């Protein structure tokens, strides 16, 4: 199959790479850019573990073709921390004990970032509704919601 050129930014860094047309954004991030913080769980767009931000909006990287990210700005979990300083969402997850196995955490944190960018002071109900598409098998969501509230208040 003929490869195509993909130009995009990931965590502020511009890339020009060759991809096969059928490759997902998740495959490119993990296999070509070695950004393994973005998880793959269901590979069907059902669990939210693979969530990244595309031009600031949450997208499921397991079901998005990489070429759909052409000329876009992608943020992965690796892009949240700046200059060695954890993002307030990452700090909130640590402080509130919201990380259990850690598999859902990257996607969950990026969903919360998108929410806080839209609504800097969400209610618990708004947080719950916003992260409803991200499945966590460990925590029962209470600590995740607490972490999101702590980040909003930080």
pLDDT (0 to 100) of residue 137: 86
Output the pLDDT for position 73.
98
For the chain, how many structural domains are there in total? 2
Domain region containing 41: 4-79
d(CA 95, CA 24): 34
pLDDT score, position 1:
78
Following DSSP, what letter does each residue of 34-59 receive, concatenated? --TTS--SSSSSSS-TTEEEETTEEE
Residue 32 has a pLDDT of 97
We report the CATH number of the domain holding residue 107 as 1.10.150.120
The domain that contains 12 carries what CATH number?
3.10.20.30
DSSP 63: T
64 and 11, same domain (yes or no): yes
Distance CA 40, CA 142 (A): 23
Give the H/E segment covering residue 118. Answer: helix 105-118
Q: For residue 85, what are the β-bridge partners?
A: 82
Threshold 0.85, pTM exceeds = yes
- Low-confidence residues of the chain, pLDDT below 70? none
Q: At 15, list the tokens.
A: 């890339």
């Amino acid at each position: 199959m003929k490869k195509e050129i993909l130009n995009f930014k990931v965590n502020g860094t511009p890339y020009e790479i060759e991809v096969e047309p059928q490759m997902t954004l998740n495959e490119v991030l993990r296999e070509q850019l070695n950004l393994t913080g973005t998880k793959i769980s269901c590979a069907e767009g059902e669990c939210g573990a693979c969530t990244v931000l595309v031009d600031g909006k949450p997208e499921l990287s397991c079901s998005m073709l990489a070429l759909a990210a052409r000329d876009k700005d992608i943020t992965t979990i690796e892009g949240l921390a700046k200059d060695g300083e954890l993002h307030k969402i990452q700090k909130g997850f640590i402080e509130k004990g919201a990380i259990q196995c850690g598999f859902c955490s990257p996607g969950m944190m990026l969903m919360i970032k998108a929410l806080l960018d839209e609504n800097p002071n969400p209610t618990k109900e708004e947080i719950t509704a916003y992260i409803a598409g991200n499945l966590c098998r460990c925590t029962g969501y209470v600590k995740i919601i607490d972490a999101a509230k702590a980040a909003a208040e930080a």
